[in-house]
Amino acid sequence: MPELPEVETIRRQLQRSLGGGRIEELEVLRAGVVISAGGVTPASLAGAPLGRVRRRGKLLILEAGERILLLHLRMTGHPEVLRERRPGKHTHFILRGQDRRGKAFFLHFHDPRRFGRLWLLPAAGVEEIPPLCRVGRDALAVTPREFRALLSSCRGPLKPFLLDQGRVAGIGNIYADEILHRCGLHPLTPAASLGPERALILHGTMREVLRRAIQRGGSSVRDYVQATGERGSFQEEHSVYGRRGKPCPACATPVRRITLGGRGTHYCPSCQPKPRGGRKP
DNA sequence: AGTTCCCTGAGG
DNA sequence: CCTCAGGGAACT
């Protein structure tokens, strides 16, 4: 599922193929996937310049003059840049235009599960309204100081903390599990119980894992592929996610899976011991 | 804090 | 055929 590294990979590809170009038409094939507000209709986008493609957490931000297009891929959303209009079964919109060299592009948005959304919004004040106003500091932008403050003000365990997009944005189920494993922290560890030192280590590990995953084009488990159709390869470096019962790469103890906050949670009971107090992990 | 809902394809 | 996967909003 697209999390920060997957969305960042796609962002770079969209920036290359659309940045500096122009929109000719937004063709909406399934109403409900596209949400229009503040008078920014699909038709009103014709002729709009395309600026940068930015990202905050898992949200893609396409600058279009006075307007902003926000794209959230959710579980199975898949943007794909093609040279022709060729909608498939699950193609919900096609953004047609020309790139900065005047060459035609067709940005297809496929999404079998239809959880993904495209918002069309006025650029002015866009940070103050949903969905952007709900997104906290990007996981690659948050400073160690901010991160420590967020941790200590959190009542609850580490895993839900990492998944909460309102605090630190961009981490989903895969990277939460991988980050905690690499830190040797049990997912149920109370967030506020980390001292400054371990908070700093968690912050550094988070950055390291996300950076490495971006280098490898994200994790292709199930549906995810890049905007070019290529697969990512960070799944080859997964230590615990999706590896229930398989040996931990560090110590060979079988990986355990529990449900936490309704999410499958993978960890190594030996490398990530549950700290004091509670029952054995 | 936990549950339900949205959705469909994949896997048992 | 049934169950599972899950991001995030909206519930209880």
Residues A89-103 have pLDDT tens digits of 899 999 999 999 999
Q: Cα torsion for A27, A109, A164, A133, to the nearest 10°?
A: -20
Which chain B nucleotides are covered by protein, judged by CB under 7 A? 1-10
Does A115 have pLDDT greater than 50? yes
State pLDDT tens for residues A64-97.
999 999 999 998 899 999 999 999 889 999 999 9
- A182 with A239: CB under 8 angstroms? yes
Does A14 have pLDDT greater than 90? yes
Three-state SS at A229: coil
Rounded to whole angstroms, the distance from the CA of residue A60 to the C1' of nucleotide C12 is 32
Does A280 have pLDDT greater than 50? no
As annotated, the active-site residues of A are 2-3, 58, 263
Q: What is the mean pLDDT of residues A175-190?
A: 94
Lowest-pLDDT range, A59-68, A153-162, A271-280?
A271-280
pLDDT of residue A277: 54
Does A248 have pLDDT greater than 90? yes
Does A174 have pLDDT greater than 80? yes
pTM summary value: 0.95
State pLDDT tens for residues A208-219.
999 999 999 999
How far is A45 from A50, CA to CA, in rounded Å? 10
Place A223 in a pLDDT band, splitting at 50, 70 and 90. confident
The pair phi, psi for residue A260, each rounded to 5°, is -135, 120
Q: What is the mean pLDDT of residues A169-194?
A: 94
pLDDT of residue A281: 36
pLDDT of residue A275: 79
Does A279 have pLDDT greater than 50? no
Mean pLDDT of the residues in chain A: 92
Site of tokens 């119980």: A193
Does A192 have pLDDT greater than 80? yes
Residue nearest to nucleotide C7 (CA to C1'): A74
Site of tokens 């908070």: A199
Rounded to whole angstroms, the distance from the CA of residue A110 to the C1' of nucleotide C1 is 28
Residue nearest to nucleotide C6 (CA to C1'): A75
